[in-house]
Amino acid sequence: MARGQDGRSHAERMRAGDLYQAFDPEVRAQYVRAQRLVRAVNATGIEDVAGRRPRLAELLGSIGEGSDVLPPVQCDYGRNVHLGADVFVNFGAIFLDTCAIRIGDQALIGPAVQFLAADHPLDPGTLRDGWESGRPISIGEGAWLGGGVIVLGGVAIGENAVIGAGSVVTRDVPAGVVAVGNPARVLKPAG
């Protein structure tokens, strides 16, 4: 485990959202482990909730009672994805989980939704030297994200918010509203 000048490994730096290098052996091993588990999850039939559940529990950081993720799903590390209770994630989800992606209880995630917590430095030299970072994502309880939504790193979506299909969420969305578009903007109160 290579340690930087601050005493943390690249994996620890990654989870904290700080600059890290993805080709570090420990980080790479976590990625390879996750890809093996993703294949196992994706090998289950959509109707095989009981067969998929233990595989999801091994892949993800946490998964609440009654939650399910339909295959196919893709993630970088899996360990940084946390699902509350009774969360439904439709097929085609992508989790670029370099740092925490937290989805609250009873959230509904439409098909082909992307959670992009991964980030890259804007400085060309730092980027060329292989440094990456991330920013956490938080989805509140009871939120509903329509098909094809893209959520960028550093975003928090409030409880009971509704994000319209195809929207790109680039900044926080308050609780209890409908937000749509690219970039997503609050349209009206939900309900």
Give residue-wise pLDDT tens across range 46-97: 999 999 999 999 999 999 999 999 999 999 999 999 999 999 999 999 999 9
Q: Does residue 111 sit within a domain? A: yes
The pLDDT assigned to 152 comes to 98
Q: Does residue 3 sit within a domain? A: no
The pLDDT assigned to 191 comes to 80
Q: Does residue 126 sit within a domain? A: yes
User: Can you tell me whether residue 87 is helix, strand or coil?
Assistant: coil
pLDDT at residue 150 greater than cutoff 60 = yes
**How do residues 14-54 score in pLDDT, each as one tens digit?**
999 999 999 999 999 999 999 999 999 999 999 999 999 99
Q: Does residue 4 sit within a domain? A: no
Q: Does residue 113 sit within a domain? A: yes
Q: Are strands 131-134 and 20-21 parallel, antiparallel or unpaired?
A: antiparallel
Contacts for 69 with CB less than 8 Å, ≥ 6 apart: 41, 52, 56, 60, 63, 83, 89, 93
The whole-angstrom separation of Cα 100 and Cα 139 is 11
Q: For the chain, what is the radius of gyration of the CA atoms?
A: 17
What percent of the chain is modeled with pLDDT above 90? Answer: 95
- 15, containing H or E segment: helix 10-15
Question: In terms of residue numbers, what domain contains 127?
Answer: 10-189
**How do residues 129-149 score in pLDDT, each as one tens digit?**
999 999 999 999 999 999 999
Contacts for 129 with CB less than 8 Å, ≥ 6 apart: none
Catalytic residue among 3, 120, 171, 188: 120
pLDDT at residue 3 greater than cutoff 60 = no
- What the block records as the tokens of 152 is 């960028």
Query: Considering its fold, how many domains does the chain have in total?
Result: 1
- Whether 10 sits among the annotated catalytic residues: the reply is no
**How do residues 104-122 score in pLDDT, each as one tens digit?**
999 999 999 999 999 999 9
Query: pTM for the whole thing?
Result: 0.94
pLDDT at residue 2 greater than cutoff 70 = no
Mean pLDDT of 156-181: 98
The pLDDT assigned to 6 comes to 82
Strands (E), 25-176: 62-63, 68-69, 73-75, 81-83, 88-89, 93-96, 101-103, 108-109, 114-116, 118-119, 131-134, 137-139, 144-145, 150-152, 156-157, 162-163, 168-169
What CATH code is carried by the domain that includes residue 101? Answer: 2.160.10.10
The whole-angstrom separation of Cα 24 and Cα 131 is 10
What percent of the chain is modeled with pLDDT above 70? Answer: 97
The pLDDT assigned to 38 comes to 98
pLDDT at residue 1 greater than cutoff 90 = no
Q: Determine how many CB atoms are found less than 10 A away from the CB of residue 37.
A: 17
Q: Does residue 156 sit within a domain? A: yes
Q: Does residue 177 sit within a domain? A: yes
Q: Does residue 2 sit within a domain? A: no
